[in-house]
Amino acid sequence: MFIHTWLKTTLSLALFILFIQQIFAQDWPQWRGANRDGAVTGFTAPKTWPDQLKQIWKVSVGVGHSSPLVIGARVYLHSRQAENEVAAAYDLDTGKTIWQDSYPVAYTMNQAAAGHGKGPKSTPVYSNGKLYTLGITGVLSCYDTANGKPLWRKDFAKQFKSTSPVYGAAASPIIDRGLLIAHVGGADGGALKALDAKSGEEKTNSGTVAINNYVRPGSPVVAAGLKVPVAGLTTGAYKVEVKALDSAGNFAVRTADFQIE
C-alpha cells in the first residue's frame, strides 16, 4: 500500500491487487504502525514488482503531513481544508466518505516553515473504537469511529500561553493502559499529559517544560528497552532525558549519558 498526503490535495490508494489480502493482514492504528516501529507483519513482498501500480481510487482530502490509519475496511485521516481541520473515515475499497467532522483552526505558519503548509503534522491514534487526533495548534480530539461523533475536545489555551511549538504540534499521541498520552503546549511551556482515553479527564502530567521547536519532544513510545537514534550530532558528550509513565501511573524522569567520538 502506498498512501501519501504531504502537502497534496488528494489521497490516493494504489496497490497491486494480487497481494491485497497480504498487505492488509495487519491494521495500521497509529504512527509507524501497530508497534510504532515501522514494521509490517503478515506481508510477503513479491519477487518482482510491476512498473506501475494500479490506482484504485482517489479522493480530495486537503493538506497535511499526518499519516493515514488503516483499520479493517476503513482509512482514517486528519487533514486541513481551507481554515478547518478535518477528521474523516473513508471506505478502503471505494474511497467513499463514511463520515467527516471539521472545526475551525486559525493558524499562521512561522516564516521559516511556511513551505510546510498549515495542515496537521501529528498522526492520529486508534483504540477501542475511538480515533484521537492532535491538530497543528494543539487541539486534542476524540471521535467515535462508528459515526464520527466528537466525544470530547481540548485546546489547553487556558493552561499554556502558546498551545503548540514554534513550527506546530507534530508529536503523535499514544494509548497505553487506558490513557491517552500526548505532549501539549509550546515554547513558553508545555507538558506531557496522560488523559483518560474515554472521558478526556487529566490523570497526570510531567510538569511544565519549555520547548523551542516542533522536533522536541518526539512522539512517545511504549518500550521495555529504549534505543534512541542519534543523527546530526557532533563529537562530544550528550545526555538523553526520557519522561516515562511508571507502573503507578506517574511520570518519572529517566536519563542516560552517551559519548560520540
All 3 cell numbers of residue 41?
Answer: 507483519
Mean pLDDT throughout 15-32? 64
Mean pLDDT throughout 215-231? 49
**Residue 243, domain member (yes or no):** no
DSSP labels for 200-254? --EEEE---B---STTSS------SS------SPPSEEEEEEEEEE-TTS-EEEE
**Residue 255, domain member (yes or no):** no
Top-confidence residue, 10 or 134 = 134
**Residue 2, domain member (yes or no):** no
**Residue 135, domain member (yes or no):** yes
Looking at residue 111, what is its pLDDT?
Answer: 86
User: For residue 94, which phi and psi values (nearest 5 degrees)?
Assistant: -120, -20
Top-confidence residue, 240 or 20 = 240
195-218 tens-digit pLDDT: 999 999 998 887 766 555 444 455
How far is residue 120's CA from residue 107's CA, in Å, rounded to a whole number?
11
Q: Is the pLDDT of residue 173 over 50?
A: yes
Which residues is 64 bridged to in the sheet? 6
Q: What's the total number of domains in the chain?
A: 1
**Residue 232, domain member (yes or no):** no
> Which structural domain, as residue segments, surrounds residue 197?
10-224
Query: pTM for this one?
Result: 0.80
All 3 cell numbers of residue 128?
Answer: 477501542
